[in-house]
Structure 1
Amino acid sequence: MPGLKDVKDKISGVKKTAQITKAMNMVASAKLRGAQEKMERFRPYAGKFAEAMSDLSGGMESTDLPLMEVREVKSVEIVVVTSDRGLCGSFNANIIKEAEKLKRKYEAEGKQVSVVTVGKKGMQALKKTGTLRKSFNDIMGSFQMFNAREISQDITEAFLAGESDQVDIIYGKFISVGVQRPEVEELLPIKPVASEEDVPQETTGATGSYTYEPDPNEIMEVLLPLYLNVQIYHAMLEVGASEHAARMTAMDNATKACKDMITDLTQLYNKARQAAVTGELMDIVGGAEALK
């Protein structure tokens, strides 16, 4: 049985750890409120943007614009969005696992795979694969739209240069405070949505026709890069909120685990103290008996 001082030191150490995890839980909770509100405000904008793109692209040929060009897929680029910091449970690990699974799938099909990471955790895990083309680190703590624009320009240049024929993005989608799941979406090429003539009437409901000025192709030339910016920024917002939610849950579980350890160590301390007292009493009684 360990000595009283050793057990007491362990109890003191676990109590200090519990104070740290509780403080981190409170910080994550405060940051989550802001990140979740920002993400929820952006979701309708991203949805309406996607609707406008769907209406504009309906009936367009994929060869009309370079970013919509569908070609034989020989090389795929995967954009992996994670957090810069850890201590958020399995959140980053799940995204990285999904990215590695997708990478193995494409390689098994004979396609060349390159990876672009957004967030330090993704870079640290995937740089050893030898497929990392570029990484964007230390931006997830305070990212803005210009960060998404920089990432979008980089992957767009690679796509237009023929370095990649398809671009996928993987990020942690915020479902609820307790649930965050990896999400995979295809970024490039941007595929046109079927026109109304191709959609069964019963699924469309009320319909209307729109007149665009200038020509829809001219509008799409401007909107396509903006659409990519919106998609990447939305993924970063989802990861930002998911990170704080996962950290809050992880730190809450850690605090509870510390309390359980303190209870067990306190019982061990009481047993050790009782054993020490019993031993001292036996020494006293034995000494008294020896004097008789």
Structure 2
Amino acid sequence: MPASLNEIKTKIASTAKTSQITGAMQMVSAAKLQKSENHAKKFQIYASKVRQVTFDLVSHDNGPSKNPMMLKRPVKKVGYLVITSDRGLVGGYNSNILKSVMAELMKQKNDEAFSVMALGGMGADFFKSRNIKVSYELRGLSDTPSFEEVRTIVSEAVKLYQDEEFDELYVCYNHHVNSLTSQVRMEKMLPISFDENQTTEHSLETFELEPDRDTILDQLLPQYAESMIYGSIVDAKTAEHAAGMAAMRTATDNAKTVISDLTIQYNRARQAAITQEITEIVAGASALE
């Protein structure tokens, strides 16, 4: 059998093995996605309740809160918490968010006008390779991260804002829409603000406050900011699993297409070899007559 046929058979076999691997990775990502979606739904219930209580305290009859975490100050420096994955094989998940963040950073006057924190190895390595200082980074999150896992970077972001290291904090991440779609978001987390038109069914409830409202807000607002940032991380992780599942599905489908094309190529080459052998036999027989 000609060497070309052996090469095609080898390519078919190797592509089939790759297809098996990507198919398995797709199923793993699908399982992680389902678990992450459930976790995100449970957190949204908690976040909704915390937001209701915080909004009610902030909009209390005593007037707007003077808490430093809610006061706008002149923007001299902007903080960006960029959430990416620790590895590849997730399609355009990382490139989409990093492209948007870079476009935003290019608008700043100089390197002293912004501070970057990276959650995820891909983002940290990306910024370092472009000589952009990463003030804080965190790697190696689990597939469904707990608050304890991200407490260090979340608390650090809030602390830096409180220490006036930057005057605004944006969390940049991919928002999970569904298993096929995600949206790049750059949400301003600090200073904390609420929609003036926001109303909830609980917003008119009367709370008996002990101690006074401002003392409670001093404790509550940093925790509220941390919970909102954590919610973005959970959302981003869900989008990451969805992107990984979609990427592996595409890779598996492409592998099947390649196998189909190679099989056709193999059959044609084999038929050509058989035809050539028959021609040679006939020619040899004719020469003996």
Task: Tell me, in whole angstroms, the C-alpha distance in 2 between the residues paired with 1:207 and 1:158.
Answer: 31
Task: Tell me, in whole angstroms, the C-alpha distance in 2 between the residues paired with 1:142 and 1:18.
Answer: 27
1:84-95 maps to which residues of 2 (within 5 A)? 84-95=86-97
For the residue of structure 2 that corresponds to 1:88, the secondary structure is coil
The residue type equivalent to 1:46 in the other structure is: A
Q: Does 1:24 align with 2:25?
A: yes
Could you say which residue in structure 2 is the equivalent of 1:128? 129
* CA shift for structure 1 position 34: 0.9
2:64 to 60, 66, 79: 60
Could you say which residue in structure 1 is the equivalent of 2:75? 73
The residue type equivalent to 1:148 in the other structure is: V
Task: Tell me, in whole angstroms, the C-alpha distance in 1 between the residues paired with 2:4 and 2:203.
Answer: 80
Task: Tell me, in whole angstroms, the C-alpha distance in 2 between the residues paired with 1:206 and 1:46.
Answer: 14
Deviations 1:25-64 (A, max 9, x none): 1111111111110111111211221222222222324xx3
For the residue of structure 2 that corresponds to 1:3, the secondary structure is helix
Task: Tell me, in whole angstroms, the C-alpha distance in 1 between the residues paired with 2:247 and 2:200.
Answer: 44
Give RMSD over aligned pairs: 2.4
Deviations 1:253-273 (A, max 9, x none): 111111111110000000100
Task: Tell me, in whole angstroms, the C-alpha distance in 1 between the residues paired with 2:44 and 2:201.
Answer: 24
For the residue of structure 2 that corresponds to 1:87, the secondary structure is coil
Indicate if the aligned counterparts of 1:140 and 1:236 stay in contact, CA closer than 8 A: no
1:233-272 maps to which residues of 2 (within 5 A)? 233-272=230-269
1:213 to 206, 210, 215: 210
Indicate if the aligned counterparts of 2:56 and 2:203 stay in contact, CA closer than 8 A: no
2:288 to 285, 288, 291: 291
* CA shift for structure 1 position 139: 1.7
What percentage of aligned pairs have identical amino acids? 34
**Aligned residue-pair number:** 283
Could you say which residue in structure 2 is the equivalent of 1:177? 179
Point out where structure 1 has 5 or more consecutive residues left out of the alignment. Answer: none
For the residue of structure 2 that corresponds to 1:102, the secondary structure is helix
Indicate if the aligned counterparts of 1:79 and 1:168 stay in contact, CA closer than 8 A: yes
Provide closer, same or farther for how the CA distance between residues 5 and 69 of structure 1 changes in structure 2, counting only shifts above 3 A: same
1:280 to 269, 277, 280: 277
Provide closer, same or farther for how the CA distance between residues 209 and 178 of structure 1 changes in structure 2, counting only shifts above 3 A: same
Q: Does 1:47 align with 2:44?
A: no
* CA shift for structure 1 position 160: 2.6
For the residue of structure 1 that corresponds to 2:74, the secondary structure is coil
Point out where structure 2 has 5 or more consecutive residues left out of the alignment. Answer: none
Indicate if the aligned counterparts of 1:81 and 1:118 stay in contact, CA closer than 8 A: yes
* CA shift for structure 1 position 279: 1.1
Indicate if the aligned counterparts of 1:167 and 1:189 stay in contact, CA closer than 8 A: yes
Task: Tell me, in whole angstroms, the C-alpha distance in 2 between the residues paired with 1:252 and 1:207.
Answer: 45
Q: Does 1:160 align with 2:162?
A: yes
Provide closer, same or farther for how the CA distance between residues 7 and 204 of structure 1 changes in structure 2, counting only shifts above 3 A: closer
- Bigger drift between 78-87 and 139-148 goes to 139-148
Task: Tell me, in whole angstroms, the C-alpha distance in 2 between the residues paired with 1:181 and 1:108.
Answer: 27
Provide closer, same or farther for how the CA distance between residues 87 and 276 of structure 1 changes in structure 2, counting only shifts above 3 A: same
1:81-160 maps to which residues of 2 (within 5 A)? 81-105=83-107, 107=108, 112-129=113-130, 130-141=132-143, 143-160=145-162
TM-score for both structures, normalised by structure 1 = 0.89
Indicate if the aligned counterparts of 2:83 and 2:120 stay in contact, CA closer than 8 A: yes
For the residue of structure 1 that corresponds to 2:175, the secondary structure is strand
Task: Tell me, in whole angstroms, the C-alpha distance in 1 between the residues paired with 2:74 and 2:3.
Answer: 68
For the residue of structure 2 that corresponds to 1:133, the secondary structure is strand
The residue type equivalent to 1:185 in the other structure is: E
Indicate if the aligned counterparts of 2:56 and 2:204 stay in contact, CA closer than 8 A: no
For the residue of structure 1 that corresponds to 2:106, the secondary structure is helix
The residue type equivalent to 1:51 in the other structure is: Q
Provide closer, same or farther for how the CA distance between residues 206 and 269 of structure 1 changes in structure 2, counting only shifts above 3 A: closer
Task: Tell me, in whole angstroms, the C-alpha distance in 2 between the residues paired with 1:86 and 1:225.
Answer: 33
* CA shift for structure 1 position 97: 1.5
* CA shift for structure 1 position 142: 5.0
